[in-house]
Structure 1
């Protein structure tokens, strides 16, 4: 498809020179206009690029550029001027023109190079948009989050509510339940899907680098700051930022995050410039944030600011037959990547998967299934091909000779720790009475 270029130049001879030079590329369709009025009348033809003589008889270049932007806010515009005033060039470049060229003997070659660069940038933008559309399809609810359990359907309902607006979203759930997958699915199904999704794991960044990572810094702001560096919030502008493990954020930084969220602007470390933000915030944690507030580990005002729409992801052990649906999905996915053909599970293998609690949740299931596909013969996974390597098993059954009562104490202690000492949640997960746990705590068999 031809690349359409409008040349707006009242000097007929000069305009013909530029048009002839660009027309040497057979991919370019060049159309000349001698007035701003004629150009504006043809904007409905949707040119890919427009060059403008700054001093037209019926309109100055800056005014014509403004009028073009009203009709087509994305078309690249190159200004060609007979004057070399720096102030004029700076003003136009700040307005958003793609290039500013001075009329001289080198203009036609400079214009050629400028058109090549603009066309390359447009191709890259289209490619990025195409990739984002593919990501949107990949992260459709049904494709990215596999399962049919009632608890998962409740998650889908909340996600559908989340994509309708820009409300903040807080995702809770055990490690490995798929919090980032849910965050991506919300972003790529929202009206922000063509903008960036920036994920930050708060637990993975050293404390002394978190502020710079999130909010950026200016050159010379501190030792080692050799250049200006935009932060993750700036990178996410127009899109969504996902702060995983938000409960791990230091209290001193929580106050700065609160200010950024309240003011909708960020100031880089060592700078004074205020960068306006248009972002959607999605946070996640495996901890109970309300409990963290009570303990003094998390600011209450920030807690209410980020909570927004809460989505709680159920652990895999509470999702019933989803274990087998996911296992089949992961097996087929791994087999396809490694060109192994269709994979099946024996009845005994399915029973073994369903009887296991998967403390590592979906992430652990995928690792188990991938290994099972490698270990199986004739593309059929048997019970013996399935190996569970959870660290819980090592903690509970490794090494020491313990009584059944001691093992029971270890298991209850593990789950109490996992659920932030929530006795009700622990009793529910282990399918025992909460009074049993309370008595063991009272008798000193379990210490928290």
Structure 2
């Protein structure tokens, strides 16, 4: 324990108070203060931060229970140990109901030994509370919810409920709707918040590598395996693993993932025995997995295993009342990151944003605001600074000649969009609502290289 652990002892009995103060002061790192009654204890709490309150139950004036209730009513969650006379456990139960962290029997012969154990336990709880509070405050700006639509408020409530469980979650929605943000909110709102959050994009990793990425491998498992390597499941043990674009996972790997979810253990490539893992899995996709199951591209048993708690994130065009708060949030973010002085957004510029259908969803809105902010740097964002790009209707000229096959139209559409996006395949995939792997396979097919050819993805 560090010297910052300040303990307040409250007791009207001078002898008992001195004994407790002396016993606690022997422990290095405990800074002990004292109060003879509840009123003085409240003054101490106002004067300085306290990490633990140790209070007698029965005192003249304000009792220990009244002191506890006053502290809790004031919003202070400081750990509180109530001292109760031998044989009056019912009073301790009342204290626990009011929010006491623990209780200690004064007449117990082993009281001082129990005191040491209980104080350490309470200070550990306080340290955890402080750490989580700091973590949530630090993460709030980055992962906070920014919306006012009723549908997203409903999702917020669901996310808060889901976070308290350990169930697998499947998040559905178009690209750019905020599925990863929701995933992180679930993780950081859960008991696993102190653990690692690992994301793996199932579409961005070649099929030949995804198994080793997920499960790891032993030294000598294959050519080039010069050392033992941990996979994402092992790294994320104790935390959360986000399987982004789960619909792109190869069927062979799907079967192995199903076993991991069922057995809570993984087998590295080249290993003889499995090892246990403690990981919460969150999966996201912009595909209709029921349709993928019907087409034989996704295992039905894995779908049911993942779909324990489904969350559907609606596209931005279905919740346009969120555009203003999102735009204002992104302006504030750009200001903080770049030292700009954008004060807001004009009504004319906002109208342009409201009329657009946002095929790239929240991600496209953020990029649009950032681009406009770079142009303006200060003052209000004006209509002239708003440059809308990424609409598929802009990317592809309307109409095809009669007699053109569906396959040929698809090919033309992909190449036109690729030209419009200046070769940025990630952007093309977002606009066409397909995965990077699907786009890569289509291009390989058009160029006669087959769908197994590996091509780098331009971000």
TM-score w.r.t. the length of structure 2 is 0.60
Q: Could you say which residue in structure 2 is the equivalent of 1:271? A: 271
Q: Could you say which residue in structure 1 is the equivalent of 2:324? A: 324
> Does structure 1 residue 370 correspond to structure 2 residue 381?
no
Q: Distance in 1 between matches of 2:237 and 2:217?
A: 16
Question: How far does residue 241 in structure 1 lie from its aligned partner after superposition?
Answer: 0.9
> Does structure 1 residue 211 correspond to structure 2 residue 231?
no
Look up the SS of the partner of 2:200 in the other structure: strand
CA contact (8 A) 1:217 1:228 kept: yes
CA contact (8 A) 2:143 2:185 kept: no
Change (3 A) 1:143 1:261: closer
CA contact (8 A) 1:141 1:185 kept: no
Q: Could you say which residue in structure 2 is the equivalent of 1:221? A: 221
Q: Could you say which residue in structure 2 is the equivalent of 1:336? A: 336
CA contact (8 A) 1:343 1:373 kept: no
Q: Distance in 2 between matches of 1:395 and 1:314?
A: 24
Q: Could you say which residue in structure 1 is the equivalent of 2:259? A: 259
Q: Could you say which residue in structure 2 is the equivalent of 1:112? A: none
Gaps of 5+ in 1: 5-27, 31-40, 47-70, 76-125, 404-408, 421-448
Q: Could you say which residue in structure 2 is the equivalent of 1:282? A: 282
Question: How far does residue 394 in structure 1 lie from its aligned partner after superposition?
Answer: 3.4
Look up the SS of the partner of 2:269 in the other structure: coil
Look up the SS of the partner of 2:147 in the other structure: coil
Q: Could you say which residue in structure 1 is the equivalent of 2:454? A: none
Look up the SS of the partner of 1:343 in the other structure: strand
Matches within 5 A, 1:21-420: 45=116, 134-139=134-139, 144-376=144-376, 378-397=378-397, 418=433
Question: How far does residue 42 in structure 1 lie from its aligned partner after superposition?
Answer: 6.1
Q: Distance in 2 between matches of 1:131 and 1:363?
A: 31
Matches within 5 A, 1:11-22: none
Question: How far does residue 309 in structure 1 lie from its aligned partner after superposition?
Answer: 0.6
CA contact (8 A) 1:149 1:319 kept: yes
Q: Distance in 2 between matches of 1:43 and 1:380?
A: 63
Gaps of 5+ in 2: 5-26, 30-111, 403-408, 415-429, 436-459
Q: 1:422-441 CA deviation, whole Å, 9 max, x = no partner? A: xxxxxxxxxxxxxxxxxxxx
Change (3 A) 1:360 1:29: same
Q: Could you say which residue in structure 1 is the equivalent of 2:11? A: none
Q: Distance in 1 between matches of 2:224 and 2:199?
A: 24
Question: How far does residue 330 in structure 1 lie from its aligned partner after superposition?
Answer: 0.3
CA contact (8 A) 2:341 2:378 kept: no
Q: Distance in 2 between matches of 1:380 and 1:356?
A: 20
CA contact (8 A) 1:136 1:193 kept: no
TM-score w.r.t. the length of structure 1 is 0.61
